[in-house]
Structure 1
Amino acid sequence: MRILLLCHSFNSLSQRLHVELRRAGHEVSVELDVHDDLTREAVSLFSPDVIVAPFLKRAIPADVWRRTLCLIVHPGIRGDKGPSALDWAILDGEESWGVTLIEAREDMDAGPVWAWREFPMRLARKSSIYRHEVTEAAVACVFEAIGRLERQEGAAMPANWGRGHERPACRRADRMLDPSTQTAEEALRIIHASDGDPGASLAIGPEAYLAFDASFASNLSSVPGALVGRCGQAVAVAFRQGALWIGHLRKSEAGSLKLPALALLGEGARDLPVIAGPENCRYREESGVGFLDFRFYNGAMSSEDCELLREAVATAKTRALPVLVLQSDADCWSNGIHLGLIENATSAADESWRNINAMNDLVREIIVSDDRLVIAAVIGNAGAGGVFLSLAADEVWMREGAVLNPHYKDMGNLYGSEYWTYLLPARVGEERAGRVTQARLPMGIDEALELGLVTRRLPADVSSAVVELHRAAIELAASPDLADRIAAKRQRRLRDEAVKPLSAYRAEELQRMRRNFYGFDPSYHVARHNFIRKTPKSRTPVTLAIHRAGRNGADRRRSMT
């Protein structure tokens, strides 16, 4: 079936659908919702059997949905209408929520229903629920609708009705934090509902900010609104009852950047007392296995984050255990260097250089772990340098449903480092390595396994994936051939180093990166600026819009394997 994905941006849900639909054998193209005329042109060029809209911010032109079946993914239960469905579900404390696949009509969210799913809500950020529950429900709905089309059946229900109702867009007033009247629990719900975008309004002293990335600060209290302490880059804010850790802030003004809270608050906040709080890295041991858990907000890793994780890996290596597991947060493994802090730096080029070198130091620390096997447990999505960070491990165990973007070029033809010129060909071979880095398309676990980027599949459910990860890692530690495998790894590393030292790969990569950062071509800096500032695309890349690249490119991804 020919399926056109029409989306405001190629977000995590759009990428997951792209992966799953291609995996099922459908011909899939993408058109970003830039202009109605471009949408019409895309439909004319591609002649899709159905248009699926995973993420839109405005209506599809009537002449398009009258001509071609258009199915809209609405992140709400049946009967729910309005642009802030998931936000309201979190704000109202809904115990269950859902996704409804609605046929486009003139009245938004009011057309025939082709499929729906519901799920229990959990205490989590909006972005996390979107990446997991909403995404899984949306994928199931889209495949149910495709099945109905293939059987030549119509919509499952004639109109979108149910226990939901129409609600307006969330206003700024709905996202206001007032420490003098709200408990920490009430404030956390507002921040969770506003996380990702647009943030929850919070005054700290005389300044107005937007707050993100919050968690409970246990056993802390003070005058409501006061800053109680700091931990890492997070600050603790007191409320009427209790306190919250706030990990990221953005100034409440147009064009401001979302940054780690301590980096934005400046020197005054650095005088706060350091107290125990959220940890980006946590290490524990179980049955001969060292488990190093790490979490970096949205997968962005600053120079300091890279050094923190490198030190944690180095410390873990002092323990005489044969297996080390690097386990990511369920939402993101890593997306590489921290583009937000780079954009905010006095010299973006200098901070880029510092950040990529810190990332390289981390990757090298993992590569030279020659007395144990290292497992990269990719539970969440990974992109760019984060993918190559995982390849520094001996094995990559990936959760079903996670998505990889193993390429740099969309960031202004960035060359990339992280020793990828050593790690990637060693895993997949020179020819496939070139194809992976040039394709610029998201990759699911089937393709990653076929290519050799991933060595083991973990279950799709996060809890089940973690259980299986622990079981398999402990089994590996007890394996009778483990010592031989470690010895073979050590010999292989010695041979590789003799042929070409790691320092040579690094120097060659950084020579190319220096041109990206300091050279005459500003493509990287322009692309980074547009990405961080969420500048709307002016066109759809031809790597996604195969209808614009020509029909000969339609199946280029299948030919990779």
Structure 2
Amino acid sequence: MHILLAASAFNSLTQRVHAELRERGHSVAVELALPGTRLADAVARHRPDLVLAPMLKTAIPPEVFTAHTCLVVHPGPVGDRGPSSLDWAVGDGATRWAVTVLQAEAEMDAGDVWASVECPLPPVAKSDAYRGEIADAALAAVVLAVDRFASGTYTPRPQYTGRARPPMRQEHRRIDWQRDTTDTVVRTLRAADSRPGVLDELLGGRWYLHGGHPEDGLRGRPGELLATRTGAVCRATADGAVWIPELRAVRVPGQPAPVKRPATLALGGLRPGDAHGPQLGDPH
């Protein structure tokens, strides 16, 4: 069977799907959804038996999904809908999750279900879970869905109900250092790692915080910087403290996009009590 993978990037999951389907004897092509490209043109050029989207950040257009069977890998259980599914799961502290392969249609993530595989969701950063348990479940769900499609006898299950959650934006990720517990802060940081980070104020400047690990012993006034270690900074919460390993500056209009840096290196000579930090533009 000839399968076209439509993806926003040839990321680790797309690579695993590509390799696994080829190992199973399928002919597999890849098209990246880059600015200025049209998926309809790629489909017309490849003439696939099946279109599969392992990681696609844009919607499949109606002229494609009405003419071809298009399957989308959604990192959430049946009925879960929205582009920030895994962010919400990690932020809410879910211990089990799932990956669903569903058919593309006009309503996002509401199409018929071809396969769904459950998995544990350990207390780790979103990116770690995505590359680990979520990727394993996604691969299993893709293989099952492709086999079912190839059989020509399977009828996908319709979704009669669903819960659509909004994109998780910075207002949903905001940390209240005076009130939030260590557990809440760590889950918030993990849900934003590795992107987009959590926008926050630190030593008078605005930074995106990346990564988060609980501290066992140190305590202090909530929001206060307590210590540094191997590039990370320790910041007090309402009931304890967390280690923040990396910071990323807010982008200044007209300047290159900043990169993540070890927290102590990003802060440079700034110390607790400094009157002001670097001058930063509006967050992008």
TM-score (norm 2): 0.89
Matches within 5 A, 1:90-109: 90-109=90-109
2-structure distance, mates of 1:233, 1:46: 49
2-structure distance, mates of 1:138, 1:39: 22
Q: Is the 8 A contact 1:113 1:155 kept in 2?
A: no
Superposed CA RMSD in Å reads: 1.7
2-structure distance, mates of 1:54, 1:246: 31
CA deviations over 1:60-81 (Å, ceiling 9, x no partner): 1111111111100111111011
1-structure distance, mates of 2:63, 2:136: 30
Q: Is the 8 A contact 1:99 1:137 kept in 2?
A: yes
1-structure distance, mates of 2:73, 2:213: 30
> Which residue does the alignment assign to 1:69?
69
Q: Does 1:165 align with 2:167?
A: no
Share of identical aligned residues, percent?
Answer: 39
Matches within 5 A, 1:88-487: 88-159=88-159, 161=161, 165-253=163-251, 255-268=257-270
1:267 alignment partner, SS class: coil
2-structure distance, mates of 1:213, 1:192: 6
1-structure distance, mates of 2:160, 2:244: 38
Residue 253 of structure 1: CA displacement? 3.1
Matches within 5 A, 1:32-71: 32-35=32-35, 38-71=38-71
Amino acid at match of 2:225: L
2:156 alignment partner, SS class: coil
1-structure distance, mates of 2:164, 2:66: 24
Q: Is the 8 A contact 2:84 2:167 kept in 1?
A: yes
Residue 4 of structure 1: CA displacement? 0.9
2:168 alignment partner, SS class: coil
CA deviations over 1:115-172 (Å, ceiling 9, x no partner): 00112221110001111111111111111111112211244302364xx611111121
CA deviations over 1:314-358 (Å, ceiling 9, x no partner): xxxxxxxxxxxxxxxxxxxxxxxxxxxxxxxxxxxxxxxxxxxxx
Q: Is the 8 A contact 1:178 1:202 kept in 2?
A: no
> Which residue does the alignment assign to 1:320?
none
2-structure distance, mates of 1:155, 1:6: 23
Taking structure 1 as reference, are residues 235 and 81 closer, same or farther at Cα in structure 2, changes over 3 Å only? Answer: same
2-structure distance, mates of 1:252, 1:188: 21
Per residue, is there more strand in 1 or in 2? Answer: 2
2:38 alignment partner, SS class: helix
Residue 184 of structure 1: CA displacement? 1.4
Q: Is the 8 A contact 1:179 1:224 kept in 2?
A: yes
Taking structure 1 as reference, are residues 155 and 136 closer, same or farther at Cα in structure 2, changes over 3 Å only? Answer: farther
CA deviations over 1:501-523 (Å, ceiling 9, x no partner): xxxxxxxxxxxxxxxxxxxxxxx
> Which residue does the alignment assign to 2:27?
27
Residue 264 of structure 1: CA displacement? 0.6
CA deviations over 1:152-204 (Å, ceiling 9, x no partner): 1244302364xx61111112111111211111111000001111111112211
Amino acid at match of 1:268: L
2-structure distance, mates of 1:160, 1:49: 27
Matches within 5 A, 1:80-91: 80-91=80-91
Per residue, is there more helix in 1 or in 2? Answer: 1
> Which residue does the alignment assign to 1:413?
none
Matches within 5 A, 1:494-533: none
1:67 alignment partner, SS class: coil
**Bigger relative contact order, structure 1 or 2 (CA pairs below 8 A, ≥6 apart):** 2
Higher-Rg structure is 1
CA deviations over 1:236-279 (Å, ceiling 9, x no partner): 11111111111111123352221111111112359xxxxxxxxx
Taking structure 1 as reference, are residues 4 and 206 closer, same or farther at Cα in structure 2, changes over 3 Å only? Answer: same
Q: Is the 8 A contact 2:203 2:271 kept in 1?
A: no
1:57 alignment partner, SS class: coil
Q: Is the 8 A contact 1:176 1:201 kept in 2?
A: yes
Amino acid at match of 2:65: W
TM-score (norm 1): 0.46
1:100 alignment partner, SS class: strand
Residue 221 of structure 1: CA displacement? 1.1
Q: Is the 8 A contact 1:262 1:269 kept in 2?
A: no
Residue 107 of structure 1: CA displacement? 0.7
Q: Is the 8 A contact 2:203 2:270 kept in 1?
A: no
Amino acid at match of 1:263: L
Residue 95 of structure 1: CA displacement? 2.7
Taking structure 1 as reference, are residues 260 and 56 closer, same or farther at Cα in structure 2, changes over 3 Å only? Answer: same
Residue 96 of structure 1: CA displacement? 1.6
Amino acid at match of 2:229: C
